[in-house]
Amino acid sequence: MSFVEYSDFIQDGDVAIVYLGHDSLMPVKVQQGAQTQTRYGAIRHSTDLIGKRYGSKVTCSKGGWVQVLHPTPELWTVSLPHRTQILYTTDIATITMMLELKPGSVVCESGTGSGSLSHAILRTIAPTGHLHTVEFHQQRAEKVAEEFKEHRVDHLVTVRNQDVCKDGFGVSGVADAVFLDIPSPWEAVGHAKAALKRQGGRLCSFSPCIEQVQKTCVALADQGFEDISPLEVLLRVHDVRNISLPLPDFGPDSYSQTEPDAKQQAPNHASVALKTTTPPREIPGHTGYLTFATKPRT
Amino acid sequence: MADNGDDDAQYRIKEGDYVVLKRGDIFKAMQIQPRKKVIFEKQWFFLDKAVGHLYSTKFEILSGGNLQPKKPKDPESPGDAKEAGTDNRHILDDGRSQKLTRDDIETLKEQGLKGQEIVQQLIENSSTFRDKTEFAQDKYIKKKKKKYENTVTVLKPSCRILAMMYHGREPGKICHLRYDSLAQMLTLANIHAGSKVLVFETCAGLVLGSVMERMGGYGSVIQMYPGGGPVRAGVESFGFPAHFHDTLHDFPICHVNALLAGTLDTAAKDPCADEKQSNTAEEQNPPEAGPRGSPEEQSMETNAGDDTAADQEKKEREKLKEAKAQGKRVKLEEKRKKLAAAASLLEGRNADGLIIASRFHPCPVLMVLLKFLSPSRPFVVYSQYKEPLIECYTKLKEQGGTVSLRLADTWLRHYQVLPNRTHPLLLMSGGGGYLLSGTTVATDRAKPAGSQRADEPAPKRLKVTDTEG
């Protein structure tokens, strides 16, 4: 297992994602002799996980069963331990495409936070790219570096514990893309420019508030960035449902010419069943504005 | 900085390159061909004039189809008239505020005046410009610039640019797949270097190209295609290096049933490709049959031993034809080999991802292609309409073998962010299609069914029962 390479069988030291049911996932560090408690009972790693194929059904001690999935950045995003607010897959997908990330890209990111986006970036730029990520919170920086190691992607990433607004990304003239998710991105725009390749590159800044976007756009324009384009992407999930719409009873139809027995069949519980979708009662209405820009050649 | 010069080589526009032209928000994909006249946004020019310049250069289109790189720091705002009104209470729409007539403007254009200079003239001859508010002046200039400035930017193609281009220009060709939906697909399917991905698309090759870009030439992509051959116009536009194409395989969807049943014989002839082969064979046959088939000519050849010149010519022609036929045969052989290679990639039924985006009903396609995926692998189906995906969802729920099913779409909103003029753009896309995504898992039912391949699931099952006991 690695977050950047599929394998078929679960091995000691892997991180596996246990699928407990709809929207309920749990990451498990696979260790010989270890046990994991789930609501369906315990999973014994040595017998239930190690050597099994990813995607298999595993029967837990109470008789319930779960599926064990190969880790992907997307599964990690919905199961990782939060140390900060994180970016979700809808925004991540947009960022990845609009920053033109691909194998070999060199990317700068700040802050690292819980590493949700970082894993997706690493997946996309492997095997030849590199991620320089900056996190000013020491404990978070250490924790995320540890996770990268566990997930066998540490060869693709450098974590720096510094303040991006003051000290920049620790590299200059190497990046194809820069991503900012910090409270005052406008203070880091100069550093972002310096980190990007002389030949140019792409930038994205994520901010929840429009005032932040406003300031960032001014800073980007001042630094000579072009094609400044703020946008917002929202996910709409559709729940598939069987619904049944009852038909009202209009009472005896004395005008119609139909036979009497047809009338008798029609009344009480007449309804039309159909398959449709409904939106969830509440959906996330806003995550953040994504501001994209291009650094021209300097 | 010698290596910097080397670095630049890959950023320079070369003849034969696939590029994207940009003006405003309009894109157009092109290949750079020598002395080819290109028409873009009502302007014509010779694109090969851009050769040798760097990508992302903004060119001014000059008379005679010449391109002149715009200086990076061209004074962008003509006439920095710091004079402005505060409101429009005295501005009357009498239709006479512009002193220049249409003919005057045409004359200016004919004189070869640059777009910027024309805009300057328009501002100077507008009697109301000074009374307009600062914002209105800005808007006026922007509007005129858009009309009169004849610039074009030459860009290196990318998934982002091509997806935006197709969505803007020819949404019908890509089943109205909006770029943010495409972005979701690539991410939800966990497309990355080194995996083996199945793609079934009728989006002109845009989806396939995007998948290939994300794989960077590592791993393999198998394009399942309907009809006579795979459509790849969009893939061309990406301008991938040659080695990317080594990772691309294709397999006709009409052979899928045979492949699943184990009756596909790739060594011998197969019906679908055979049809095509015979078609192409027929095409090449008549000229070939001419000299070779007719006894008259053959006898002439043997008899006219003294007519050396004619003989030579004939021989040459014959050789050429022979070579051509040989070439065709080699091609057919290659094609068969490719089919066999694609078939063997599929036969393992261990693909790492599946992406479907087509004009066909997604349900049967999904049901059959899912069989080629390993357990614990993601799949994504795109459809312009929601209803067929509801059907897919229902079928998958009934059948089992998948988890994390989700039917969703994304909503995209662009913003104008300017000092004191920030708001969402007035126009937004009505819809970018729907996505059904999920992850495959091992099924209990598949075990007895897949008896030919029982080697893997069987021991696993035993272990499960072991732990239970």
User: Which amino acid would we find at residue B94?
Assistant: D
Cβ neighbours for A160, distance < 8 A, ≥ 6 positions apart: A132, A133, A134, A135, A141, A169, A170
pLDDT digits (tens, 9 = 90+) for B401-410: 999 999 999 9
Question: Cα separation of B450 and B443, whole Å?
Answer: 10
Cis peptide before A183 (omega within 30 of 0): no
For position B469, what pLDDT does the model report? 33
Identify which of B184, B376, B393 has the shortest CB distance to residue A69: B376
Helix (H) or strand (E) holding B219: none
User: Which amino acid would we find at residue B234?
Assistant: G
Identify which of B179, B213, B415 has the shortest CB distance to residue A102: B213
CB of A58 within 8 Å of a chain B CB? The answer is yes
Q: Is the pLDDT of residue B265 over 90?
A: no
CB of B160 within 8 Å of a chain A CB? The answer is yes
Neighbours of B389 (CB within 10 A): 25
Backbone phi and psi for residue B186, each to the nearest 5 degrees, phi listed first: -65, -35
Q: Is the pLDDT of residue A275 over 50?
A: yes
pLDDT digits (tens, 9 = 90+) for B162-184: 999 999 999 999 999 999 999 99
For position B103, what pLDDT does the model report? 84
- Residues B46-52 have a mean pLDDT of 91
Mean pLDDT check: name the lowest of A52-61, A120-129, B265-274, B454-463.
Answer: B454-463
Best mean pLDDT range from A255-264, B342-351, B419-428: B342-351
Q: How confident is the model at residue B426 (pLDDT cuts 50, 70, 90)?
A: confident
Q: Which residue of A has its CA nearest to B187?
A: A93
Residue B98 per-residue DSSP state: B
Among A143, A137, A91, residue whose Cα is nearest residue A115: A143
Look-up: residue for tokens 């003919």? B103
Mean pLDDT check: name the lowest of A7-21, A79-93, B130-144.
Answer: B130-144
For position A255, what pLDDT does the model report? 67
Inter-chain Cβ pairs, chain A and chain B, closer than 8 A:
200
pLDDT digits (tens, 9 = 90+) for B209-240: 999 999 999 999 999 999 888 989 899 999 99
CB of A213 within 8 Å of a chain B CB? The answer is yes
CB of B158 within 8 Å of a chain A CB? The answer is yes
CA distance B216 to chain A (A): 5
Is A55 within 8 Å of B375 when comparing Cβ atoms? yes
Q: Is the pLDDT of residue A251 over 50?
A: yes
Q: Is A255 exposed, middle or buried (0-12, 13-18, 19+ CB in 10 A)?
A: exposed
CA distance B56 to chain A (A): 8
Q: Are A196 and A173 in contact (CB under 8 A)?
A: yes
Question: Cα separation of B366 and B392, whole Å?
Answer: 8
Q: Which residue of A has its CA nearest to B410?
A: A235
| A contacts of B216 (beta carbons < 8 Å) | 102-104, 128
Q: How confident is the model at residue A262 (pLDDT cuts 50, 70, 90)?
A: low
User: β-strands A201-207, A177-180: how paired?
Assistant: parallel
Cis peptide before B65 (omega within 30 of 0): no
- Residues A260-282 have a mean pLDDT of 76
Question: Cα separation of A179 and A216, whole Å?
Answer: 13
What mean pLDDT value characterizes chain B? Answer: 82
Question: Cα separation of B219 and B194, whole Å?
Answer: 4
Secondary-structure percent of chain A, ordered helix, strand, coil, rounded to 5: 25, 30, 40
Q: Is the pLDDT of residue B299 over 50?
A: no
Question: Cα separation of A83 and A85, whole Å?
Answer: 7
Q: Is the pLDDT of residue B292 over 50?
A: no
Q: Which residues pair with residue B357 across a beta bridge?
A: B201, B382
Q: Are B24 and B146 in contact (CB under 8 A)?
A: yes
Question: Cα separation of B63 and B48, whole Å?
Answer: 15
For position B295, what pLDDT does the model report? 42
For chain B, how many residues are written? Answer: 469
CB of A102 within 8 Å of a chain B CB? The answer is yes
Which chain B residues in 196-225 lie under 8 Å from chain A, judged by CB atoms? Answer: 213-218
Q: How confident is the model at residue A264 (pLDDT cuts 50, 70, 90)?
A: low
For position B307, what pLDDT does the model report? 60
Question: Cα separation of B412 and B431, whole Å?
Answer: 9
For position A267, what pLDDT does the model report? 54
Q: How confident is the model at residue B417 (pLDDT cuts 50, 70, 90)?
A: very high
- Residues A187-210 have a mean pLDDT of 96
Residue A5 per-residue DSSP state: B
- Residues B370-398 have a mean pLDDT of 97
Burial pattern B272-294, b for ≥16 Cβ within 10 A else e, equals ebeeebeeeeeebeeebeebeee
What mean pLDDT value characterizes chain A? Answer: 93
B143 vs A111, higher pLDDT: A111
Q: How confident is the model at residue B315 (pLDDT cuts 50, 70, 90)?
A: confident
Question: Cα separation of A131 and A87, whole Å?
Answer: 17
A179 vs B120, higher pLDDT: A179
Ordered DSSP codes for A64-76: -EEEEE---HHHH
- Residues B268-290 have a mean pLDDT of 44
Question: Cα separation of B338 and B266, whole Å?
Answer: 9
For position B449, what pLDDT does the model report? 39
pLDDT digits (tens, 9 = 90+) for B330-362: 988 888 888 999 999 999 999 999 999 999 999
Among B148, B161, B162, B268, residue whose Cα is nearest residue B205: B162
Which chain B residues in 358-377 lie under 8 Å from chain A, judged by CB atoms? Answer: 374-377
3-state SS class at B409: strand
Ordered DSSP codes for B308-360: HHHHHHHHHHHHHHHHHHHHHHHHHHHHHHHHHHHHHHHHT--BSEEEEE-SS
Tokens, residue B224: 């399942």
Mean pLDDT check: name the lowest of A51-55, A128-132, B90-94, B277-281.
Answer: B277-281
For position B450, what pLDDT does the model report? 36
Start-to-end CA span in chain B (Å): 70
- CA-CA-CA-CA torsion sign (A11, A15, A17, A18): positive
| A contacts of B402 (beta carbons < 8 Å) | none
Residue A48 per-residue DSSP state: I
Identify which of B188, B213, B350 has the shortest CB distance to residue A74: B188
- Residues A97-123 have a mean pLDDT of 97
- Residues B286-300 have a mean pLDDT of 41
For position B267, what pLDDT does the model report? 65
A242 vs B142, higher pLDDT: A242
For position B288, what pLDDT does the model report? 39
Cβ neighbours for B449, distance < 8 A, ≥ 6 positions apart: none
Ordered DSSP codes for B105-173: HHHHHHTT--HHHHHHHHHHTBSSGGGSBHHHHHHHHHHHHHHH--EEEEE---HHHHHHHHHHH-GGG
Cβ neighbours for A193, distance < 8 A, ≥ 6 positions apart: A223, A224, A225, A295
Question: Cα separation of B416 and B419, whole Å?
Answer: 10
Backbone phi and psi for residue A39, each to the nearest 5 degrees, phi listed first: -70, -10
3-state SS class at B295: helix
Q: Which of B26, B192, B385 to mutate to probe the A interface, most A CBs <10 Å?
A: B192
